[in-house]
Amino acid sequence: MLTAGPDAVSCRDNGTCFKRRWAEACAQRGVAVRKTRPYRPQTNGKVERFIRTLLELWAYAYPYTNERERAVALAPALESYNRFRRHRALGGLTPLQRVNNLSGTNN
């Protein structure tokens, strides 16, 4: 988990996997935990799509010889996703462009 600022929030589903450990890790970092509404796939839609994209572009895209090789390939895959891959949901911007222009005034 990344370090977080004072207003950080973690939104996760209601699954029981790692529930206690996740809550403890968030508490140590001062991150508020919010749960998604049950039976509401719209809430998780963007993160589910992100996971699917990573699986397609990184995890299963190449025949890695071992997990270490796959792990090393993650950083460049995330860099490509955030810096170069344009998103329809962001009006054709990359995630990095969107984050750097949250107010929409830097056109």
Residue 58 pLDDT grade (very low, low, confident, very high; cuts 50, 70, 90): very high
Mean of pLDDT over the chain: 79
Cα 74 to Cα 57: distance, rounded to the nearest angstrom: 10
**pLDDT score recorded for residue 10:** 58
**pLDDT score recorded for residue 3:** 46
**To 10 degrees, what angle do helices 41-54 and 67-83 make?**
120
| Residue in this structure with the two tokens 């270490």, named with its chain if needed | 68
Given a cut of 50, is residue 2 above it in pLDDT? no
* Of residues 32 and 58, more confidently modeled: 58
Q: For residue range 16-53, what is the model confidence (pLDDT) as tens digits?
A: 666 777 788 888 888 887 777 777 777 777 778 888 89
Boundaries of every domain in the chain? 1-39, 44-107
Q: Which residues contact 48 (CB under 8 A, 6 or more apart)?
A: 41
- pTM comes to 0.58
